[in-house]
Amino acid sequence: MSYLEYAVKSTPSGFRKFFYMNWPLTLLLISTASAGFLMLYSVAGGSWTPWAEPQMERFGLGLTVMFIVALVPIWFWRNMSVVAYLGSIALLIFVELFGTVGMGAQRWIDLGFMRLQPSEVMKVTLVMLLAAYYDWLPSHKTSRPLWVILPVALILIPTFMVLKQPDLGTSILLLAAGGGLMFLAGVHWAYFAAVIAAGFGLVATVFNSRGTDWQLLKEYQFRRIDTFLDPSTDPLGAGYHITQSKIALGSGGWNGRGFMQGTQSRLNFLPEKHTDFIFTTLAEEFGFVGGITLLTLYGLILVFCLVTALSTKDRFSSLVTLGIALNFFLFFAVNMSMVMGLAPVVGVPLPMVSYGGSAMLVLMAAFGIVQSAHIHRPR
Amino acid sequence: MKQRTPKSQGLAYKRLPRRALILGGLQTVFIGGLAARMRFMQVDQADEYRLLAEENRINIRLIPPTRGRIYDRNGQIIGQNSPSYRIVVVREDAGDVDKVIAKLSDLIPLTEDEIERAKTEMRRSAPFLPVTLADQVTWEDISKVAVNAPALPGVTPEVGMTREYPRYEDFAHVVGYVGPVSDYDLSQIEDPEPVLRIPRFQIGKVGLEAKQETSLRGKAGAKRVEVNATGRVMRELDRQEGETGADLQLSVDADLQQYAQARLAGESAAAVVIDCETGDIRAISSAPSFDPNLFVRGISVADYRALTQDNYRPLANKTVQGTYPPGSTFKMITAMAALEAGVIGPGNTVYCPGHLKVGSRRFHCWKRGGHGTVDLGLSLKRSCDVYYYDVALRTGIDRISDMCRIFGLGVKHDIPMSAVAAGLAPNQAWKERVHGEEWLVGDTANASIGQGFMLASPLQLAVMTARIATGRAVSPRLVRSVNGVEQPSGAGEPLAVNRTNLEYVRKAMFSVSNDRRGTAYRSRIIADDFRMAGKTGTSQVRNITKAERAAGVIRNKDLPWERRDHALFVSFAPYDNPKYAVAVVVEHGGGGSKAAAPVARDIMLQALYNGTPPLEAYPVADRERIKEQQKRLEGDRRPKARPSEKDRA
């Protein structure tokens, strides 16, 4: 009997579980999602269709999923970790073979009512597996090379599969989330120092591979990096997105141009204004005040995840909560850096706000696990 | 199963909160970085980005100005803007473009060419931009399209402004025509106004339209519009109206112009009527003419070829561009030069045996047997050549050339028409300079009777006659007022010649058309108030060889048209109080007294009576013929039916 099962007596049961949920987190999620509905309403020119309404339906579905996941005891999810990970790998193989090609990459499985991106699922299941692994691993073995290589392999397998789709953004996020979890689990810092050094070496190698037979990235990925480094080289091509995004954001000023008054988004200068670049619309219409508000909401979500993680005495719960929080952080940090011109355009949506079903559903399910960890925490 | 307690997690477990806080700290730092970046962009650089956003969304569009209208002296319209209809298709509204075009071509005639051009343009332009499918569509076709509108999605009739010349041929050479700006036009203009780059914008190509382009065009307005990323106009923000082009009023009388044009019909000829006092050009006709409206719409290759291949050169403006040896109409100048030089007096006589030996060459009088003893009056009345050979040789070419300039020959008159010629009033220096040869006495003899190097345009001849009539340096004026502002009159200072000498010449000119033996007696005016003075001219366009002269000079009617003599006539009337001067040149018309004088007389009467003159103004013998002629011309002058706007065979 694990510690968790032993501690079950102290956890609430039945519908009382609702009262023990991390309610501040739930409310924060509803707030950010609502900000999303508002922005989707605005970019559609003041219309609930085609984005805001489906998004609300999906959020309702996501909320339901979160509650269901939350009510299931956290140890069930721990026990499911390996299965979930293998299932995700299977999905990645499936998408490689039968997936729908979009934007030059194989990423989706069309389920009819929504498009499932296995790489999104992978982000959560990888965190679950690693958390379960470090829960299982006796702590004195944590930094032993053999026990370090195993999780590294578990991270790298899906990372390469996603990179091959090719989806550079998600593979970097997987790598970062996995590495972050290993850091949280207490792996010796020297490993990270070594990896970071090697990382710089790898970046140099990747850049050197350009134009050779063994080119490691596709040409369009190189071009994205080029235009990120200097958007003015291609003002009407790929650099157009970054330039227009920065114009929209900057022109918002202190308190924005007003709801539905953003000229950049309303007149279609912004690309992907309902998905990856939705933050620009928000920043244009609500200005610095609006942007900081959203950023604060995101920060609070992280804080309340940290509260859950630190208030539980269960290692799996802590690790999985922190891993999910890290994933969430990486999500919005990369997206915002991208629209502010601090990172190349890698196609990462803004969590809870961007239009898109599968990312939101997966995220809500993940927060369901956080909620489950909170409800079923040993006290 | 082994129980694990929190304690059993050992060192790694203790590390967790610490590492979590380290990672949390890093995240906080990153979030702080994002906030700082946002502050930098949205607060510090907000103004720059705001400006860039405005540049993105705001476009400035030009509003083409309305072109000024052109009126005759009585306010009759000569050039105006009239609505023209075109059919445009908007691709995004049309849906299946091919189907819609197919349906449309069942309704109205469309050429393969037009369809192909429209389709090409559609492929290139944004789907919301209208593409012109057919231009200059008739009102009937427009109504057909309008009635069938429900079946033709995306097809709309559009109205635009196009130039129209309701007087057709009458003013083609005066006003010219407009056309779309060409690349060549743009290359000719230094720093062209942006409005010229508007597609289909029309500018004056020739004639008054071209010469007064700047005042007719007006100033373009501008509107600021909000556009989206694909360039679609979302709304208009504000607009600044332009200025309509200035309306021009001509000195020309459209009715007289129409009469002159009709009277010259059938000939290759030119007629100029000028007001002796003010220099106002009352009529300035060149025949044959052409319909300038054809050029506005884009003339067909066949029509254009017909115009360029016509022997009578309809496109040439013979009144100002055409220069002719003035022939005997020049004799007044020679006479004035001789009188002013004191070489002759009005009573001095010269004996004309029919020829004069100048140097080694023999110069002939037009009258084989000669005129006998002639004085100034007789020499003009009978147009004796020998008299002028003789006095010119005594006067010298340079004094004659100077006299030409006083009377406006060899001088380019400043009127806003295309290709105004300066003519030629040669002197010794000129020949030295241009031909590199010495001036010969034979050249002087030729020049004395308006042959040889001497060249003048019908306008110059009219100005010369007006100056003789009034003794003032009248200069021609074509534009009477611009936007209601009266332009400077052409009335001039008295000429630097002796009034008495001028009076001798005027008196002689009177006898030309009023004395029984005058060369233009048959074309006299018998109305007492409107007596006309004139001078005939017949200028050779070929050399008469010695052999031909020996065998008898071939008569004009036996020669091919282009080798016949030019017929000229200049006149002013009324003699006592000159009102109008008329110059007529009939190319290859034969004798001036036969071919040109009657035309000039008819036009003069029309001008004097300001309409059809009474038959009493004509000599009794001519009245029947004139009555016929008046009837015929009336018929010609009936308002022409408006030809169909687009003849689509």
Q: What is the Cα–Cα distance from B178 to A282, expressed in whole angstroms?
A: 53
Asked if A315's CB is within 8 angstroms of B13's CB, the reply is yes
B493-550 residue pLDDT tens? 999 999 999 999 999 999 999 999 999 999 999 988 899 999 999 998 888 887 888 8
Residue B445 · residue B358 · CB < 8 Å: yes
- The segments of chain A whose pLDDT lies below 70 read 1-10, 100-107, 112-113, 227-238, 379
Nearest partner of B257 among B385, B430, B70, judged by Cα: B70
Which residue in A has a C-alpha nearest to residue B9's C-alpha? A139
Which residue in A has a C-alpha nearest to residue B3's C-alpha? A2
Q: What is the CA radius of gyration of chain A?
A: 21
Residue B365 · residue B328 · CB < 8 Å: no
Asked if A139's CB is within 8 angstroms of B31's CB, the reply is no
Average pLDDT, chain B: 88
Listed range (A247-251, A357-361, B40-44, B638-642) with the worst mean pLDDT: B638-642
B350-400 residue pLDDT tens? 999 999 998 888 999 988 888 999 999 999 999 999 999 999 999 999 999
B422-473 residue pLDDT tens? 999 999 999 999 999 999 999 999 999 999 999 999 999 999 999 999 999 9
| Residues of B in Cβ contact (< 8 Å) with A340 | 34, 37-38, 41
| Residues of A in Cβ contact (< 8 Å) with B9 | 139, 315
Is the ipTM beyond the 0.95 threshold?
Answer: no
Q: What is the pLDDT of residue A338?
A: 87
Q: Both tokens of residue A379?
A: 């006290």
Q: What's the CATH superfamily of B254-309+317-480+489-636?
A: DD-peptidase/beta-lactamase superfamily (3.40.710.10)
Q: Nearest CA to CA, how far is B36 from chain A (Å)?
A: 10
| Residues of B in Cβ contact (< 8 Å) with A75 | none
| Residues of B in Cβ contact (< 8 Å) with A266 | 228
Residue B633 · residue B263 · CB < 8 Å: yes
Nearest partner of B277 among B14, B38, B487, B471, judged by Cα: B471
Q: What is the pLDDT of residue B530?
A: 93
- Point out which residues pair with B585 in neighbouring strands: B270, B568
| Residues of A in Cβ contact (< 8 Å) with B3 | 1-3, 6
DSSP B68: P
Which residue in B has a C-alpha nearest to residue A280's C-alpha? B38
B529 touches chain A (CB under 8 A): no
Asked if B34's CB is within 8 angstroms of A295's CB, the reply is yes
Q: What is the pLDDT of residue A238?
A: 60
B58 touches chain A (CB under 8 A): no
| Residues of B in Cβ contact (< 8 Å) with A253 | 42-43, 46, 50
Q: What is the Cα–Cα distance from B148 to A367, expressed in whole angstroms?
A: 61
Asked if B31's CB is within 8 angstroms of A250's CB, the reply is no
Burial bucket for residue B231 (CB in 10 Å: 0-12, 13-18, 19+): exposed
Q: What is the pLDDT of residue A231?
A: 64
Asked if B35's CB is within 8 angstroms of A264's CB, the reply is no
B43 touches chain A (CB under 8 A): yes
Which of A139, A184, A309 minimises the CB distance to B9? Answer: A139
Asked if A288's CB is within 8 angstroms of B42's CB, the reply is yes
Separation in Å, CA B493 to CA A45, B472, B481, B497 = 75, 5, 22, 11
Q: Is A261 left (phi over 0), alpha (psi -120 to 50) or beta?
A: alpha
Residue B501's H or E segment, with its range, is helix B499-514
Q: Nearest CA to CA, how far is B216 from chain A (Å)?
A: 39
For B80, the 3-state DSSP assignment is: strand
Domain layout of chain B by residue ranges: 57-76+167-250, 84-92+102-111+118-160, 254-309+317-480+489-636
Q: Is the pLDDT of residue B646 over 80?
A: no
Q: What is the pLDDT of residue B430?
A: 94
Asked if A268's CB is within 8 angstroms of B10's CB, the reply is no
Q: What is the Cα–Cα distance from B613 to B616, expressed in whole angstroms?
A: 8
Asked if A313's CB is within 8 angstroms of B228's CB, the reply is no
Residue B85's H or E segment, with its range, is strand B77-90
Residue A279 makes CB contacts below 8 A (sequence gap 6+) with: A249, A291, A294, A335, A336, A339, A350, A353
Q: What is the pLDDT of residue B7?
A: 40
For A44-117, where are the alpha helices, taking DSSP H only? 52-71, 74-98
- Using CA atoms in the order B302, B304, B308, B310, what is the torsion angle rounded to 10 degrees? 60
Which residue in B has a C-alpha nearest to residue A240's C-alpha? B229
Q: What is the pLDDT of residue B8?
A: 41
Q: Is the pLDDT of residue B586 over 50?
A: yes
**Backbone phi, then psi, for B284, in 5-degree steps?**
-150, 90
Nearest partner of A117 among A95, A134, A133, judged by Cα: A95
Q: What is the Cα–Cα distance from A187 to B15, expressed in whole angstroms?
A: 9
Q: What is the Cα–Cα distance from A352 to A350, expressed in whole angstroms?
A: 7
Residue B458 · residue B273 · CB < 8 Å: no
The proportion of chain B whose per-residue pLDDT surpasses 70, expressed as a percent, equals 96
Q: What is the Cα–Cα distance from B120 to A38, expressed in whole angstroms?
A: 42
Mean pLDDT of B180-200: 81
Separation in Å, CA A108 to CA A105, A159, B394 = 9, 16, 110
Q: What stretches of A86-151 adopt beta strand conformation (E)?
A: 100-102, 105-110, 115-116
Which of B20, B27, B230 minimises the CB distance to A309? Answer: B20
Q: Is the pLDDT of residue B2 over 70?
A: no
Which of B3, B42, B226 minimises the CB distance to A283? Answer: B42
Asked if A329's CB is within 8 angstroms of B227's CB, the reply is no
Q: Both tokens of residue B205?
A: 């190509």
Separation in Å, CA B124 to CA A237, B101, B114 = 19, 17, 16
Q: Is the pLDDT of residue B326 over 90?
A: yes
**What does B193-208 look like in DSSP terms, one character per residue?**
-GGGGSTT-EEEEEHH
The CATH architecture one would assign to domain B57-76+167-250 is Alpha-Beta Complex (3.90)
CB atoms within 10 A of CB A84: 19
Nearest partner of B244 among B224, B222, B221, judged by Cα: B221
Q: What is the Cα–Cα distance from A278 to A349, expressed in whole angstroms?
A: 8
**Catalytic position from the list B328, B379, B383, B523:** B328
- Point out which residues pair with B84 in neighbouring strands: B160
Which of A185, A291, A309 minimises the CB distance to B42? Answer: A291
| Residues of A in Cβ contact (< 8 Å) with B56 | 244, 247, 263-264, 267, 269
Domain layout of chain A by residue ranges: 3-186+219-375
Residue B39's H or E segment, with its range, is helix B10-39
- Point out which residues pair with B372 in neighbouring strands: B352
Asked if A329's CB is within 8 angstroms of B42's CB, the reply is no
Tell me, yes or no, if B360 is annotated catalytic: no
With bands split at pLDDT 50, 70 and 90, how would you rate the model's confidence at B638? low
Cα B635 from chain centroid?
Answer: 27
Burial bucket for residue A379 (CB in 10 Å: 0-12, 13-18, 19+): exposed
Q: What is the pLDDT of residue A215?
A: 75
Higher pLDDT, A239 or B187: B187
For B214, the 3-state DSSP assignment is: helix
Residue A63 makes CB contacts below 8 A (sequence gap 6+) with: A30, A364
Dihedral (CA of B442, B443, B447, B450) sign: positive
B253-283 residue pLDDT tens? 999 999 999 999 999 999 999 999 999 999 9
Residue B87 makes CB contacts below 8 A (sequence gap 6+) with: B104, B108, B132, B133, B134, B137, B141, B142, B145, B155, B156, B157, B158
Q: Is the pLDDT of residue B50 over 70?
A: yes
Q: Nearest CA to CA, how far is A284 from chain B (Å)?
A: 9
Q: What stretches of A147-236 adopt beta strand conformation (E)?
A: none
Listed range (B309-318, B397-406, B629-638) with the worst mean pLDDT: B629-638
Dihedral (CA of B550, B554, B560, B566) sign: positive
Q: What is the Cα–Cα distance from B16 to B311, expressed in whole angstroms?
A: 106
Asked if A267's CB is within 8 angstroms of B226's CB, the reply is yes
With residues binned 3-state (H G I as helix, E B as strand, rest as coil), the percentages for chain A, rounded to 5, are: 70, 5, 25
CB atoms within 10 A of CB B558: 7
Which residue in A has a C-alpha nearest to residue B54's C-alpha? A263
Listed range (A44-53, B1-10, B216-225) with the worst mean pLDDT: B1-10
> pTM value?
0.71
Q: What is the Cα–Cα distance from A277 to A14, expressed in whole angstroms?
A: 42
Nearest partner of A173 among A3, A6, A343, judged by Cα: A343
Q: Is the pLDDT of residue B581 over 90?
A: yes
Cβ–Cβ pairs < 8 A, chains A and B:
145
B197 touches chain A (CB under 8 A): no
Q: What is the pLDDT of residue B220?
A: 86
| Pairing mode of beta strands B372-374, B202-206 | unpaired
Asked if B42's CB is within 8 angstroms of A287's CB, the reply is yes
| Residues of B in Cβ contact (< 8 Å) with A313 | 6
CB atoms within 10 A of CB B481: 16
| Pairing mode of beta strands B70-71, B77-90 | antiparallel
Cα B252 from chain centroid?
Answer: 13
**What does B579-605 look like in DSSP terms, one character per residue?**
-EEEEEEETT---IIIIIHHHHHHHHH
B551 touches chain A (CB under 8 A): no
Asked if B3's CB is within 8 angstroms of A340's CB, the reply is no
- Best B9, B19, B42 member to test A by mutation, with max A CBs in 10 Å, is B42
Q: What is the pLDDT of residue A1?
A: 40
Asked if B34's CB is within 8 angstroms of A336's CB, the reply is yes
